[in-house]
Chain A
């Protein structure tokens, strides 16, 4: 099998290795890969893209978004309530709205008003055509989950960048080992951060997030000291 044919089959090969239509084709591809470093390299790159795509960062919309949403819902409800009285629909969403009482707590209404007045235009999108903002990972109230979180992330990014530049020299086993460990820590970190966001005052959860950031830092420091 020549390179052109293998290259166009590579994505399918990576995605459905266990459920291939023809074992013959798999064998041909694998034989070619054994003998062709260029195609092998490409396979590795595509595989890394595929794997990395599951670990992409979560983006946070501006703090003011919730206020806009709840105001819009509020507006719809009062409009619908008014119209429903006229049309007297008993079923469906309109009737349901008419028959429900919506309770917005006083603090919520006050907060909505306050947000609208403040007009936060922080641009929390980061990379999509706007200047990168350190506000990417604040919680809904606009404050950092950990006071030092920005700094921690900046340091980790820096270390990660330096290591990524050297990763090219590592063999596959070492690289995949490292990535696996990183991914595992990242998964735990994501989970614990979400838990912390649901309850930002929980000191225990905060400590867990700190410990996980530290574990990540430690792994990077190990690689630096081991001179890989």
Chain B
């Protein structure tokens, strides 16, 4: 990327912090570089949390507009990606709150059903995790499980942080995560069986 005739350095070689500073001074090329570097992660995070492409696009747009407004306040005390992720997560959670999405959903069947199902199943299931299938299965989780799973397993937040962000107890976060994983396992195994049947 070349400059626009001003004394700006080629944006590619700048750090996120330097680009943030430049953006805060009104350099749209710098901000566009930030967009190019981070838009996929932001979009993927939104998409996994809301499981709807149109919503995820709108949310991504809102996040970047909000980012532009706030970018002057990034002081470099954490990694830019961490800062941006928190911004994204908070924005999506606010969106959930506005839409009245309840996050501490309990399971429909209850834990007992899950255990019985797996005990009966035995140890013959094919054991592999197709990443595309996992992605799809995540989108099929109920919102409460999905949010905790995405935040903890996909994004790497600790239970303390997840609990803080969602306004629940650490215990709730842990049990929701466990239910999410069990449900995903169920969904993935179902897919495998369907595949097997259609093959024959």
Q: Would A and B touch once assembled, by the CB under 8 A criterion?
A: yes
In the complex, chain A residues 36-64 whose Cβ is within 8 Å of any chain B Cβ: 37-38, 40-42, 44-46, 48-62
Q: Does A101 contact B (CB under 8 A)?
A: yes
User: Do A198 and B29 touch across chains, with their CB atoms under 8 A apart?
Assistant: no
Q: Does A4 contact B (CB under 8 A)?
A: yes
Stretch at the interface among B64-72, B84-92, B93-101, B102-110: B64-72
| Chain B positions 135 through 152: 1 when the CB is less than 8 Å from some CB of chain A, otherwise 0 | 110110000000001000
User: Do B29 and A105 touch across chains, with their CB atoms under 8 A apart?
Assistant: yes
Q: Does A135 contact B (CB under 8 A)?
A: no
Known: A7-B118, A44-B127, A73-B65. A54 touches B153 (CB 8 A): yes
Known: A58-B44, A199-B12. A103 touches B56 (CB 8 A): no
Q: Does A108 contact B (CB under 8 A)?
A: yes
User: Do A56 and B57 touch across chains, with their CB atoms under 8 A apart?
Assistant: no
- If over half of A's interface residues share one DSSP class (helix, strand or loop), that class is named, otherwise mixed; here it is helix
Chain A residues within CB distance 8 Å of chain B: 3-4, 7-8, 10-12, 15, 37-38, 40-42, 44-46, 48-62, 65-66, 68-70, 72-73, 76, 93, 96, 100-105, 108, 123, 125, 127-130, 140, 157, 160-161, 164-165, 167-168, 175, 194, 197-199
18 contacts between A and B (CB under 8 A): A4-B115, A12-B174, A12-B178, A38-B119, A41-B125, A42-B185, A46-B185, A48-B127, A49-B129, A53-B153, A54-B153, A62-B57, A73-B65, A76-B65, A102-B26, A104-B28, A128-B51, A198-B37
